[in-house]
Structure 1
Amino acid sequence: MATLLCQELQNAPRETLWIADENSKALLQQGFNFGGDLLSNRWDIARLAEGKTARSFFSDFHFEELGRNYRRIVFPVSKEKAVVHHVINRAAEFLGEGGELVLIGGKQSGIKTYAAKAAQRFGCAKQLQKHGSDYVSTNPLQSHSGEKADDQGYCELRRLETLNGLYSKPGLFGWNKIDRGSALLAEQFSQCLPSDGAHVVDLGCGYGYLSTQLAAQGNYHFTATDNNAAALIACRENFADRNLDGAVVPSDAGAELETNIADLLICNPPFHQGFQVEGDLTDRFLRQSARLLKNSGYALFVVNEFIPLARKGRDHFATVEQLANEQGFCVYRLSQ
């Protein structure tokens, strides 16, 4: 898909907006330069695009912050349906006369359905062209009042009973449920509590479930990080609502944090990058964890049981101890 995306961007006028999520990372790493603007909900993508695009924006797809309309919007569709529907809906509001939305996706991405949704929203005929295993849907704006796609109330931050009263929103993976792995990790907190006043780093915090669970058992200072803009919004709200002491900051696996700051690090690392399983994600989180921990500190990780964390962890830590193995997840304690 990177080749097709590259072609669409190279042929685009300067008044083009590139909606970039994890599927765009490979293109930016090749040193590709783009004359238009880039908007991403991922911190690493927005940072990587700096100096390679006219302007780079990091937000939860807040189009109004761009301060202008566009002739063309190019979007390699995201894995999250609510994100795609939100972008389709808002694109119709930020395209000028004669503007068009270009959707790009592989066969398994839902691109055929999204092409139909875009056609309804834009008041145009459904268009879909096949290029190898990928597809392009070009949607000229013919109506600003076409039927909107169901984006699950994308912009609404809401308190959910399914999360024990925590706030969350669409655009965040597993936004309306408690992850089984995270719940298993939280169950181990009682036997692994740091001393009061300890500095805890929540790496890949999501909406902040792990931090709020740990905070109920002691007085700690938290630094919570995530790469996803929706996660940061929800986590900040939960920190404020539960009066947690600490900060919620954007970061790519903690790479921007100072070395040797954490007494305890808690992490449920992702293993998917968009539609693909990315093998080195676990290694990146382990490597950064070893750097962030004090010599006396320790990390608590939960991973799917097929992730060989015991083997990978020994490349970065002296001790790797399995604490639990239930329902397809394993919890480990790692220390120097």
Structure 2
Amino acid sequence: MSAETPVCQLLERQSTDYRGWLWVAPPRDRWLEEGEGHLLSADQTLLSAWREGGRGASSPFAMDELAPEGVVLFWPKAHAQGEWWLLWLCARLAPGTPLHVVGENQGGIKRVLKVLAALGLGCRKVDSARRCSLFASRLDRVDIDPDAAWTSFEAEGLTLVSHPGVFGHGKLDDGTRLLLAQLASSLPNQGSVLDMGCGDGIIAAWLARRGLAVTAADVNGFAVEATRRTLATNGLEGEVFHSDVYAGLPQTRFDAIVSNPPFHQERAVDYGPAGRLIAGAPERLEPGGQLVMVANAFLPYPDLLERAFGGFEILADDRRFRVYRAVKR
């Protein structure tokens, strides 16, 4: 199997023997998934794919002790998250462990030189091709706690805990603000609600404060941890699951599903998660239950809602965002 993504194609041509190495936050690529080594990722889709293939895979929030031969860090779009991964690896793995950092040039990989220098870690450029670059270094102890990346801010009378790479990091998204403005009049005062794509937990906490029984889910492990911290910080109750849409949830039905679903995977547009959210919602709702979601106005969700529910209504439209409601009949 040949590498499919540019970053993996660059790695594939290296002379380094990557067997026994730790792959950190990689993209989907069958060259990796059918090869050797252990995955470290906060993405539940990746974790599930590797585990289903019999491969070792861990989340940074539930990881056994590892002593890899080396580490390959795939530099993410969110640079602050890349810096967190570096700090986490330096804190958890043995000093001197070989480190390779790879990424797309337009994704900001070249700034890794300055990041590593600021941490006191040496660095050299190994290769470049396919508009990607590969750098080599070694891990060492640094005097910065990875937990310092967790921050908090105030919104809607709640204290929200956030982390680099979580949607809306450090601020309340305008689409979510429009959604919240509609929920008070569209949801019942009691019952069970699923917050799908929970991010920093603003919707889950808002619903829990109102007295609803809240379940929250996100494919991003950083978002799952952020939502758990947000609920705890505000003294609120709720169950939070690391789940790729409905795949990791108990077989439970809800009185409502609320969502501000993502439509990007890194820089690419990806309607897949939102499409699965809409298509699967009727099976997850009680009779009379409703899906309330916000989306950018240009996204093609009306056809999906019509197909899944047989109809829908628009609760709000500010030309940038629309809030949709569809009811299970």
TM-score tier (shorter)? 0.7 to 0.9
Aligned to 1:19: 24
Q: Give the counterpart of 2:200 among 207, 218, 227.
A: 207
Report if the CA contact (8 A) 1:208-1:238 is conserved.
yes
The offset of 1:188, in angstroms, is: 0.5
Q: Does 1:57 align with 2:50?
A: no
Q: Does 1:166 align with 2:164?
A: no
Q: 1:1-336 alignment to 2 at 5 Å?
A: 2-5=5-8, 8=11, 11-21=16-26, 24-25=27-28, 27-28=29-30, 32-50=33-51, 52=53, 54-60=55-61, 65-94=63-92, 96=94, 99-121=97-119, 123-127=121-125, 129-140=127-138, 144=140, 153-154=148-149, 156=150, 158-162=151-155, 164-171=157-164, 172-196=166-190, 198-217=191-210, 219-258=211-250, 261-326=253-318, 328-336=320-328
Give the distance between the partners of 1:117 and 1:267, measured in 2 at CA. Answer: 35
In the superposition, relative to structure 1, how do residues 275 and 12 fare at CA in structure 2: closer, same or farther (>3 Å)? Answer: farther
Report if the CA contact (8 A) 2:127-2:133 is conserved.
yes
The offset of 1:248, in angstroms, is: 1.0
- Aligned structure 1 segments of 4 or more residues deviating by more than 6 angstroms: none
3-state SS, counterpart of residue 315 of structure 1: helix
The offset of 1:130, in angstroms, is: 1.8
Report if the CA contact (8 A) 2:37-2:56 is conserved.
yes
CA RMSD of aligned residues (A): 2.8
Identify unmatched segments of 5+ residues in structure 2.
Answer: none
Give the distance between the partners of 1:246 and 1:181, measured in 2 at CA. Answer: 23
Give the distance between the partners of 1:90 and 1:75, measured in 2 at CA. Answer: 11
In the superposition, relative to structure 1, how do residues 19 and 53 fare at CA in structure 2: closer, same or farther (>3 Å)? Answer: farther
Report if the CA contact (8 A) 2:194-2:214 is conserved.
yes
Aligned pairs, number: 322
Name the aligned partner's letter for residue 153 of structure 1: A
Name the aligned partner's letter for residue 18 of structure 1: W
In the superposition, relative to structure 1, how do residues 108 and 302 fare at CA in structure 2: closer, same or farther (>3 Å)? Answer: same
The offset of 1:299, in angstroms, is: 0.6
Report if the CA contact (8 A) 1:71-1:98 is conserved.
no
The offset of 1:95, in angstroms, is: 5.3
Name the aligned partner's letter for residue 211 of structure 1: A
Give the distance between the partners of 1:231 and 1:125, measured in 2 at CA. Answer: 31
The offset of 1:243, in angstroms, is: 4.4
Tell me which moved more, 203-212 or 88-97. 88-97
Report if the CA contact (8 A) 2:6-2:132 is conserved.
no
Tell me which moved more, 31-40 or 220-229. 31-40
Give the distance between the partners of 1:90 and 1:51, measured in 2 at CA. Answer: 26
Give the distance between the partners of 1:111 and 1:187, measured in 2 at CA. Answer: 39
Name the aligned partner's letter for residue 70 of structure 2: R
Give the distance between the partners of 1:74 and 1:13, measured in 2 at CA. Answer: 9
Give the distance between the partners of 1:4 and 1:145, measured in 2 at CA. Answer: 27
The offset of 1:151, in angstroms, is: 7.1
The offset of 1:212, in angstroms, is: 2.3
The offset of 1:295, in angstroms, is: 2.6
